[in-house]
Amino acid sequence: MVSKVSGEVCGTCEGRTYVIERQGDRAHARVCSCSVRCPLCEGRGFTYEVKEQTFSAKVGPKRYEVLVPCVCQHRAKRVALFNDIGLPGVTSHASFENYRAANEAQDRARNLAMHFSHHFDKAGVNKGFMLSGPVGTGKTHLMAATLKHLVLELGLAARYVEISLLYATIRRGFQEGKSGGEIIGPLSDVAVLAIDEMGKGRGSQFEMETLDELIARRYNAGRTTLFATNYSLEPERRASRTAAPAGYHRPAEDAKSALREQELLRERVGERIYSRLCEMCTFVEMPKDTPDRRRLIQEADMRPGSPPTGSRGTGR
């Protein structure tokens, strides 16, 4: 959706025709004031299109005008779709352009998300992605930038869920007498679902069953799902433990590898789910030393002579 009214690009939306702002705890889109009154249809919502058809061989081809919805109608629909995603307000500024890669893995993560967005095949099957990494490395940022593109530029329906909020919503739904399927249904069917904080939670039977059902439904239907997690995707490291000679105890080593296992997503979600994730997604893992952007911003703000806060959203 790009608009150039009278040859000049709007400074507010930079020609996108929509603006995304933080409204309460949500990211909210609206049609930019430059495009509220559509210059193409002057607000009527439709335009005329000339068609040509041959109704009778005797008369020959005839030209006639039909009413078709104007592009501004797509715009309003897409903006409404965007406001249903459930993206957190803190992501309203997130874009591919203002994402900075501090290492090769972050570069790969951005390229993967961009490639996925720009080559999304609406009629086909699209492999999603899984971003793993430490806190503040832009996983939610890239997810948000991806969902913005899919919904506002391609007109797809999408949903964003933070996993522990999802469990809480389902639990509440049960208390209100709804069935698991009734609550999970809309999330199973939406064209693109982004699940943030994968692996988080208590790992209770209820949580595992809920997640299993959701992932299995999406997997079986061949639907696209995106994930972000703080847990590691690295392959298992049990080998070092089993390699130790029998009767030889290395408590420190054992404790270390047990700790590592707890950090693995596979251990958190179980084999059944993890196996499906491997087929549903391309994985990117950011290393442990990837800088935490929240801390970088705070440190910059605390430096003597720096202007009072508000760095978020400036694309630093």
Ligand X SMILES: Nc1ncnc2c1ncn2[C@@H]1O[C@H](COP(=O)(O)OP(=O)(O)OP(=O)(O)O)[C@@H](O)[C@H]1O
Residues binding ligand X (CB under 6 A): 90, 94, 98-100, 106, 133, 135-141, 228, 230, 293-294, 312
Binding mask 82-121 toward Mg ion (x if CB under 5 A, else -) reads ----------------------------------------
Among residues 20, 29, 31, 72, which is the contact residue for Zn ion, using CB under 5 A? Answer: 72
Structural contact between residues 161 and 195, judged by C-beta atoms closer than 8 angstroms: yes
27 is written with which tokens? 């990211």
> Which partner from the list ligand X, Zn ion, Mg ion, none does 312 bind, CB cut-off 5 to 8 Å by kind?
ligand X
> Which partner from the list ligand X, Zn ion, Mg ion, none does 223 bind, CB cut-off 5 to 8 Å by kind?
none
Give the residue at shortest CB distance from Mg ion: 140
By CB under 5 A, residue 102 contacts Zn ion:
no
Strands (E), the chain: 18-23, 26-31, 46-54, 61-69, 128-132, 158-162, 192-196, 224-229, 281-285
Nearer to Zn ion (CB atom), residue 23 or residue 204: 23
C-beta of 254: minimal distance to Mg ion in Å? 32
Nearer to ligand X (CB atom), residue 98 or residue 282: 98
- Stated as kind and residue range, the H or E segment containing 57 is none
Q: What is the C-alpha separation between 118 and 153, in angstroms, rounded?
A: 10
Backbone angles phi, psi at 39, to 5 degrees: -70, -15
C-beta of 165: minimal distance to ligand X in Å? 13
Terminal-to-terminal C-alpha distance of the chain: 26
Nearer to Mg ion (CB atom), residue 117 or residue 140: 140
> Which partner from the list Mg ion, Zn ion, ligand X, none does 294 bind, CB cut-off 5 to 8 Å by kind?
ligand X
Give bridge partners of residue 161 from the DSSP assignment. Answer: 195
C-beta of 216: minimal distance to Mg ion in Å? 25
By CB under 5 A, residue 10 contacts Zn ion:
yes
Strand 158-162: give its sheet, edge to edge. Answer: 158-162, 192-196, 224-229, 128-132, 281-285
C-beta of 168: minimal distance to ligand X in Å? 17
**Which residue type is seen at 179?**
S
By CB under 5 A, residue 40 contacts Zn ion:
yes
Structural contact between residues 265 and 278, judged by C-beta atoms closer than 8 angstroms: no
Residues touching Mg ion: how many (CB under 5 A)? 2
Nearer to ligand X (CB atom), residue 79 or residue 94: 94
227 is written with which tokens? 């994930």
Give the residue at shortest CB distance from ligand X: 138
Q: For residues 114-153, which are near Mg ion according to CB under 5 A?
A: 139-140
C-beta of 153: minimal distance to Zn ion in Å? 15
Backbone angles phi, psi at 70, to 5 degrees: -80, 155
Backbone angles phi, psi at 278, to 5 degrees: -60, -35
